[in-house]
Structure 1
Amino acid sequence: MKTAQFLLAAMLALPAMDTAQAAEIELWRLDCGSIKISDLSAFSDTLRYQGEQRTLTDSCYLIRHDASYMLWDTGLPAALLGASQEGNGMKPSLSKTIKDQLSEIGVAPDKIETVGISHNHFDHVGQATDFPQARLLIGKADLDGFRAEPPAFAVDPSLVKPWLDGKAPVNTVEGDKDVFGDGSVVMLSTPGHTHGSYSLLVRLAGKGAVLLSGDTVHFEEQFTNNGVPPFNVDRAQSLASMGRLQDMAKALDATLVVQHDANDIAKLPAFPASAK
């Protein structure tokens, strides 16, 4: 499996062979909530961040591939609209829904054909059921995690009920997944945070390659200090996945975006502007 992933990474690093026929790709950064953290040491198994506080972004993304639309992650549940972030612990809150943001750019919810999920935690699948017609793409191990008894930390099976009940289409992913078959959008296997975690490569004609981190890290400095949260399922896999994204970013001269880091997501235009 690792050999196949490395071969695919090498192939992805090659220039496009037929740019005249390439699909038109457009990428929007959506606001899918925020999480106020009163003790950031919960995000390092070496207690590196003791005494620090931070508000993490909960970003998700809309991708247009010619006339097809895909969501990458679906943020916090709509039940958290206007939730208070006062007090200690982890306090999630949502200020606007994905559907409301899509309406601003004239994309009807039923136009979403694919929902790609980085991993199965509630802050990444929260609004998935607003798009029950969509094909769900998710790591096989993380779909299996929705069926586990009891569910693991931060996993809420009700948030993906249509797909668990067989009422909506789902494709499980193992290894890397070329979503549209042309190398423009590729799910990259980056396990460690969960057993079936993924990141996403998006190739844009103007901006170039963009790598969306999923939860491979939660903020940029974790790449340089090898910061691994204690709630990750595998430390060694976490570090290997961090290295894979960094190496690929160098190979492709890509913009690497940490989805929970406010400074990092600012590498992409603020909604409703898009990157092309």
Structure 2
Amino acid sequence: MYPRILPAIMFAALSQPAIAQMQSAEVTLTRIDCGRASEPMPLAAFDDTGASDAMARALVVSCYLVRHGDDLLIWDTGIDPATSGDPDGGFTMTATLVDELAALGIAPADVDYVGISHYHYDHTGQARDFPQVTLLIGAQDWEVIENGAPFIDRSLFAPWLDGGGSVRKISGDLDLFGDGTVRLLAMPGHTNGHHALLVRLAGTGPVMLTGDLAHYTENYEKEGVPTFNDDRADTLASFDRFKRMAANYHATVVIQHEPADVGLLPAFPEAAR
């Protein structure tokens, strides 16, 4: 009884003007270069079955700008420019995220949200350059940051740890704008609070950004679990869910660290629509 009645009641509660407003927001997706591997990286640790022991790949670091009407979301923030070229980090960058956005006429103060797929350094390096935003992050990942794990650079999160910035700690999925066009998807395993992103575009169709569910094409196809993941079983369950969703939605899957997937979206500064 209730599963059928409740959706109807909820739908009826929305006025027609509200529905029209939800549907009228234009959504675009822009891929931004936020770093590249200085040289091919050994991939043995990215699959605990040994499938990648002999492999090396020059991975990329990607950030994304999502426009939803007048709202702006940055998805992942790349490496810290101060670490560019550091052999321990393994990535270099030629322009900061702030500079790349400036080329689009966007200042840090224009950004409303920064969404973080997970707390690793190559996804959070420039978050603090947007101190006024609402930070979107998995609740379990934020707990790790708050507790000050030794591998976390807490200075990257100073605007929110100091109490001045707003943090939205996400448990499960989040339909950010309430219209289904931008959804943070809980995909735990790489970290316990790890999320992927689904963006529905009017022309291109659904696009699913993996976060670090997978790091390169073979990793995605063979469902390789890195030795440094938080939970193996959760990773495999997330692979299953992600792939089923991608198939059901006929989505374009973009593996964020895969160089070949850069071409699945228009070249900067153009946006997918």
On the 8 A contact 2:41/2:59 being kept in 1, the answer is no
Over the aligned positions, Cα root-mean-square deviation in angstroms equals 1.9
Q: State the match for 1:73 in structure 2.
A: 76
User: Aligned partners of 2:89, 2:118: CA distance in 1, in Å?
Assistant: 19
Q: State the match for 2:104 in structure 1.
A: 105
Q: State the match for 1:238 in structure 2.
A: 235
2:198 match: secondary structure: strand
User: Aligned partners of 2:135, 2:89: CA distance in 1, in Å?
Assistant: 28
2:23 paired with 1:26:
no
User: Aligned partners of 2:105, 2:36: CA distance in 1, in Å?
Assistant: 25
User: Aligned partners of 2:134, 2:161: CA distance in 1, in Å?
Assistant: 12
Q: State the match for 1:247 in structure 2.
A: 244
Q: Return the letter of the residue paired with 2:33.
A: D
On the 8 A contact 1:26/1:65 being kept in 2, the answer is yes
User: Aligned partners of 1:226, 1:234: CA distance in 2, in Å?
Assistant: 14
1:266 match: secondary structure: helix
- Residue by residue over 1:178-204, the C-alpha shift from the partner in whole angstroms, topping out at 9 and shown as x without a partner, is 111111100000000000000000010
2:141 paired with 1:130:
no
In the TM superposition, residue 22 of structure 1 has moved relative to its aligned partner by 3.0
In the TM superposition, residue 214 of structure 1 has moved relative to its aligned partner by 0.4
Q: State the match for 2:194 in structure 1.
A: 197
Bigger CA drift: 242-251 or 131-140?
242-251
- Residue by residue over 1:147-167, the C-alpha shift from the partner in whole angstroms, topping out at 9 and shown as x without a partner, is 23433x4x3221111111111
2:174 paired with 1:171:
no
User: Aligned partners of 1:20, 1:139: CA distance in 2, in Å?
Assistant: 25
The alpha-carbon distance between structure 1 residues 93 and 258, as it changes in their structure 2 partners (threshold 3 A), is same
Q: State the match for 1:11 in structure 2.
A: none
- Residue by residue over 1:99-145, the C-alpha shift from the partner in whole angstroms, topping out at 9 and shown as x without a partner, is 11111111111100100110001110100011000000000000001
Q: Which runs of 5+ in 1 are unaligned?
A: 1-6, 8-16
User: Aligned partners of 1:77, 1:272: CA distance in 2, in Å?
Assistant: 22
Q: State the match for 1:215 in structure 2.
A: 212
In the TM superposition, residue 18 of structure 1 has moved relative to its aligned partner by 6.0
In the TM superposition, residue 51 of structure 1 has moved relative to its aligned partner by 3.0
On the 8 A contact 2:23/2:179 being kept in 1, the answer is no
The alpha-carbon distance between structure 1 residues 208 and 38, as it changes in their structure 2 partners (threshold 3 A), is closer
2:208 match: secondary structure: strand
In the TM superposition, residue 34 of structure 1 has moved relative to its aligned partner by 1.8
Q: Return the letter of the residue paired with 2:31.
A: R
- Residue by residue over 1:12-70, the C-alpha shift from the partner in whole angstroms, topping out at 9 and shown as x without a partner, is xxxxx869933100110000112345421021112222232211110010011111111
Q: Percent identity?
A: 46
Q: Which runs of 5+ in 2 are unaligned?
A: 1-6, 8-18
2:162 paired with 1:159:
no
User: Aligned partners of 1:99, 1:224: CA distance in 2, in Å?
Assistant: 34
Q: Return the letter of the residue paired with 2:245.
A: M
User: Aligned partners of 1:225, 1:144: CA distance in 2, in Å?
Assistant: 31
- The structure that has the greater radius of gyration is 2
Q: State the match for 1:10 in structure 2.
A: none
Q: Return the letter of the residue paired with 1:204.
A: L
Identify which of 245, 251, 255 aligns with 1:258: 255
2:58 match: secondary structure: strand
1:129 match: secondary structure: helix
The alpha-carbon distance between structure 1 residues 21 and 225, as it changes in their structure 2 partners (threshold 3 A), is closer
1:238 match: secondary structure: helix
**Ranges of 4+ aligned residues in structure 1 off by more than 4 Å:** 17-20
Equivalenced residue count is 255
TM-score (normalizing by structure 2): 0.88
TM-score (normalizing by structure 1): 0.87
Q: Return the letter of the residue paired with 2:27.
A: I
